[in-house]
Amino acid sequence: MSSTDVEQVLRKQRLRSLQAGSMLRAGVVIIMLLGMVIDTDPIRWPAQIALLGSYALIAICTLAVAFSAARSRFTGDKALLTFALVDVAAVFGFKLLSPGGYIPLLVMALLPRMVAVELSVRRAATVLACSLAVFTASVLLDPVIAPRLGPAITALIVLMYGFVCGTALLVVLFRLRNVDEMAKLTRSRDELLAQTMTASEVERRQISESIHDGPLQDVLAARRDIADFVKVSPDAPLEHALASLQDASRLLREATFELHPAVLDQVGLAAAVEKLASVAAARSGIAITTDTDYREANGIDPILFGVVRELLANVTRHSQATRASVKLEVADDVARIDVVDNGIGINRDAAARRLAQGHIGLASHRSRVEAAGGTLTIVNEPVGAHLRVELPLRR
């Protein structure tokens, strides 16, 4: 569970635990408030209100943090454990301030349900053990409940609460098992993707070399022979054939470059992207500029070249643009590609409609990127289209 994708899965699960716990915490505050009004002595309300006010403030703050931009700072084990222990302390304090009340005792049954959203067996076991101990103490030390119910029923209630805590712990274990399964699937997907990309690049290289060493050389030889003959004996049909062979050789060179550019291995990704943009510009008539901030130390990732190739192909085929730009940069081992044009544009709604109509080109690009652990985003622009790809580097 050390890969980037697995860490992302765990991070998302911790975030969901934080968000679910914050929402449940707000519900507990409301239930405690109703329990105070219904089943406690008004004389004790000032102390209870002080406790509930403090707990409600914590609940509001955690709820706000859980859905804010700073939420990732509070998804660590220590922060989540602190929040859980605050819940136990608040509920136990509420019960201490409500002797003889059955509803405050029932409020404590909410604690195992709150723990069930956790993603750590150690943290869940700690909180549930504290909850069981606090519940047992609350029942045994209550001046009304224990004497009225008797030892047998009191013990049965404690056992039932222990069963609820054990059930909550099982829920946590099952959630962790699901996360482990996702981690295994993620690792398998990564391995399959690596094998597929390797096989695809090998195949592209072989096809590129076959075209370069076979048909392209034959065309070049024929062009050279005809050019030598035309120099000696000019002839219009032969000159036309010579021009056709020149076009054919140019197209074959472009095909070999797009399949697997030698410059990608020799000079690097930045030079390959710039060459790809120039080829696309010459073919489509679109003025394409490039801005590449990619160094050899980042490694050569063939997936990135493939992404740029597909996005530029999308521009030349569908955008009806006159200008386009490609920007490639790297930050924190994540490559970001921005392809922008001034064409007819495409937004998220239009992309959804095109997908429903059977146009799967953009969807296939997104699937490839997401399979590699990245994201493809359509950035809404007033004019033209803006596609952004963020992809973790695979060195």
Measured distance CA(131)–CA(129) in Å, rounded: 5
Measured distance CA(167)–CA(308) in Å, rounded: 51
> Are 20 and 162 in a shared domain?
yes
**pLDDT confidence band for 288 (50 / 70 / 90):** very high
Q: Is the pLDDT of residue 274 over 80?
A: yes
**pLDDT confidence band for 256 (50 / 70 / 90):** confident
> Domain count of the chain?
2
> Which of 138, 168, 188 is a domain's end point?
188
User: CB-based contacts of 54: which residues, under 8 Å, 6+ apart?
Assistant: 90
Looking at the chain, the whole-number percentage of residues with pLDDT higher than 70 is 81
> Are 148 and 270 in a shared domain?
no
> Are 267 and 161 in a shared domain?
no
**Per the structure block, which two tokens stand in for 48?**
């209870």
Angle at CA of residue 113, ends 110 and 114, nearest 5°? 90
Higher pLDDT, 70 or 363: 70
Kindly report, residue by residue over 7-19, the tens digit of the pLDDT. Answer: 666 677 778 777 8
- Residue 199 placed within a domain: no
Angle at CA of residue 119, ends 118 and 124, nearest 5°? 55
- Residue 320 placed within a domain: yes
Orientation angle between helical segments 302-318 and 145-213, nearest 10 degrees: 80
> Are 384 and 281 in a shared domain?
yes
> Which of 149, 167, 188 is a domain's end point?
188
Say which residue the tokens 């049965």 belong to.
156
Measured distance CA(73)–CA(248) in Å, rounded: 58
Kindly report, residue by residue over 86-144, the tens digit of the pLDDT. Answer: 888 888 888 778 877 677 777 777 777 777 666 678 888 888 888 888 888 888 887 77
- Residue 104 placed within a domain: yes
Domain span holding position 344: 263-392
* DSSP-assigned beta bridge partners for residue 377: 388
Kindly report, residue by residue over 33-46, the tens digit of the pLDDT. Answer: 888 888 777 888 88
- Residue 233 placed within a domain: no
- Residue 211 placed within a domain: no
- Cβ contact 106:36 at 8 Å: no
Q: What is the pTM of this model?
A: 0.46
- Residue 344 placed within a domain: yes
* CATH, residue 376: 3.30.565.10
- Residue 312 placed within a domain: yes
- Cβ contact 33:52 at 8 Å: yes
- Residue 325 placed within a domain: yes
pLDDT in the model for residue 262: 65
> Are 9 and 121 in a shared domain?
yes
> Are 301 and 176 in a shared domain?
no
Higher pLDDT, 368 or 241: 241
Q: Is the pLDDT of residue 172 over 50?
A: yes
> Are 161 and 294 in a shared domain?
no
> Which of 167, 188, 209 is a domain's end point?
188
Least confident of 184-188, 240-244, 333-337: 184-188
> Are 284 and 173 in a shared domain?
no
> Are 18 and 137 in a shared domain?
yes
pLDDT in the model for residue 1: 38
pLDDT in the model for residue 338: 93
201-216 mean pLDDT = 76
